[in-house]
Chains A and B, each alone.
Chain A
């Protein structure tokens, strides 16, 4: 069991609640829960200082299964609730668990605003590209033309790209991982935790009941190395089972190239987490033409919202009298005897 932060000796089990987990057997949420519970002891902070806040949806059941403080709130509103908590209690580690419907449909507004404000909250968006809890309607990340119960003729909606949404909202940390990629997910969670500011992770999650196999090429042993492009800061963008393919920037466009004697790794694009233009280009890569990038698209620092707010409060306390008597006695006074 890995222990960080000195005296604290917590294990995965300490983060498991006595509640029966009620996701469908085989749901990708189990794997995510397991990784989160595994990572928590490594944060080196006591359980009582961790809060999980969610909205509504399959993913939003998450807080019930985490033996920390938890708040299962209302559809789409978790970022707002988390913002109020984090502003006033900056010492807490606040996590939001949301889904593609919760975070990008009904709660889209709150999501983009928490991202631009850079409140130090960790947001895990489980993207299964379907509505699970309400039994199988298309979601804002479903592919256009998707046939579901509510779209028997195929959905007319063009989908959101969650990474591009987050980048567009000026998020300071934007990453993608996959439910079954245990190690990658753990590493991404840890990086998110250590990022000072809002951290947004899109976690591709299989809903085996209503949208099974949505990410199969990314997770099947056979295909995944060709389908995933693992982003690593400062490293060339190489992928493929035999690590023989790469991404090049040519004429302002990204292209897949085969590595051979003519094209070497040195000629490939090198990932830079601080370059938002590059992050945006990478966010547009998708199957079948391209591999799907996973990893950290963007990581930059910017003062957090709560630090600015706390700073203003401390500054005001230094500069202005804080006695209520003076406050009430503002303006012209007169006495009646």
Chain B
């Protein structure tokens, strides 16, 4: 049962609770006071300054809303635009949902524990807003819904809570970007996300992050997938960030449920990333895959992965590949945990540099050393993600293309 007082109480108790992993962030250094911004009509989005639009585009947000099924746009603490253009797909701010809809209470804090750590506590005690995206039973999203969390105010602590629901038989694609404005240096983003993939539903969630050099980022997300459902979770982060730590978890709660996590990370100097993915396979026929590609240009990257096979007749694979291009560290920690006979679980992990042989091969076809290197790097980062709509694949390719320019 949803009980506001109980939630607040639990949150208060966890207010100073450090996270189990990752560097601790002193939240007192940030300001979580609301920053009002006025709501923008659809047509106004195009009047955003060119520079701002460019940064949004890099995180997958298209202000023209071409080939998008809906938009949610939050700047600092205020929702400045929110609407759906597809029947059967609802997009609304979470505060509004909590005020107006009873059903949201079946989802709010149902997967993520409010007292997980001080970040989840902050998201409850100082909630600004966030999005709720729900695909009604049987509805199919033709175009992805885009959601953007924009940070503009220096020193802000942005607390958001998102809920994504694909009802029975629905198909929903979401692309979400977190972006900071060009001038911003310091801030923290705290984002709680809860994913519900109902029976035979399909959800693809593609997150592209563009942070600033002094940003701290603490997403906390948990998903659940019912019988026959598919949850595709893609994460792309190619820009510097001071500290990013997350360990999204998904529970496969029905038979034949499938979850796939794909992450592509490029770590810049001075950046610290601690990323992971955890999937519990709890029913026969469950499939899980965690694929991570990391490149370090001098950043420090910890790439975790944890697959838990609880019953027989499940299949899970973890693949973690890292390339050290210009110093830095990559620490791959793949974990497989079989709790029953008859589980089929495997992993491959590799950390290294680009093979000279591959570079010379391309050079003998007329590419310079730099061109050859960037071609190989691009190949390394381009993971085939089955079931991802072409528009989203194109967004990922674009992000890779962009980072390529920065790297070389």
> Bound pair: A and B?
no
